[in-house]
Amino acid sequence: MNRQQSGFTLVEIAIVLVIIGLLLGGVLKGQELINSAKAKNLANDFRTVPIFIYGYQDKFKRLPGDDDSPNASRFPDYKKATLAGQTQKNGTIEGIWNSTDVTSENVLFWQHVRGVGLAAGSTDFSDTTKASLPSNAEGGKIGIQMTPPITGMSGTYYLCSENINTKIAQQLDTTVDDGKPDSGTMRAQAKFDDTEAGDKSWPASGSVIVCMSM
């Protein structure tokens, strides 16, 4: 008996491969657009914080967070820092960028700039569970300090942003600086250590902390 065999022709296989290629290309292009949008969002974080600082300083002759005004003199929820070891009105925003202590100057920085209308967000910093601290496009913490967060950095103010995918971080650095993790005004490192220098090269995968001097 003759058996009839059926299967894909070369033309059909070629068409399937072309379709698969188009789908993969679309997925990759879509991911590239998402990463580009995230990098732009992150760049905007670094560009707007100086506006908050200088806008507040121009209006009140104080630094946000370091302001020592009486309670409620600026806005209803206004708080001034009370953390031991910190001194208000000394021209320094004290504290470490990733702190969540609502009595620290660098945390109250966000309440002050929001309260006077420079930034959007809640001003209820009555305790750590209510304080709505800002986060980046990757869901990581954003914070400010006035001591170099990475060895070798120089400047007056430093903004740090964590949990940034290494590829997005590289795109971000290329957009606003020199594209290198260990030089320029923007630096990156794979793990948190205030004394560690920026990584010499971009990690192949994972996430990094990115800090920029202003």
Answer whether 0.95 is exceeded by the pTM.
no
Expressed as residue numbers, the domain containing 55 is: 36-213
Q: Which two tokens stand for residue 119?
A: 């930034």
Residue 174 in any domain: the answer is yes
DSSP letter at 92? -
Residue type, 206: G
Cα–Cα distance measured from residue 49 to residue 66, given in angstroms and rounded to the nearest whole number: 15
User: pLDDT tens, position by position, for the chain (214 residues)?
Assistant: 555 556 667 777 778 777 787 777 666 556 566 778 888 999 999 999 999 999 999 999 999 999 999 888 999 999 999 999 999 999 999 999 999 999 999 999 999 999 999 999 999 999 999 999 999 999 999 999 999 998 889 999 999 999 999 999 999 999 999 999 999 999 998 876 655 566 788 888 899 999 999 9
Number of domains the chain is built from = 1
Residue 6 in any domain: the answer is no
Cα–Cα distance measured from residue 162 to residue 208, given in angstroms and rounded to the nearest whole number: 6
Output the domain CATH number for residue 105. 3.30.1690
Contact 114, 132 (CB under 8 A): no
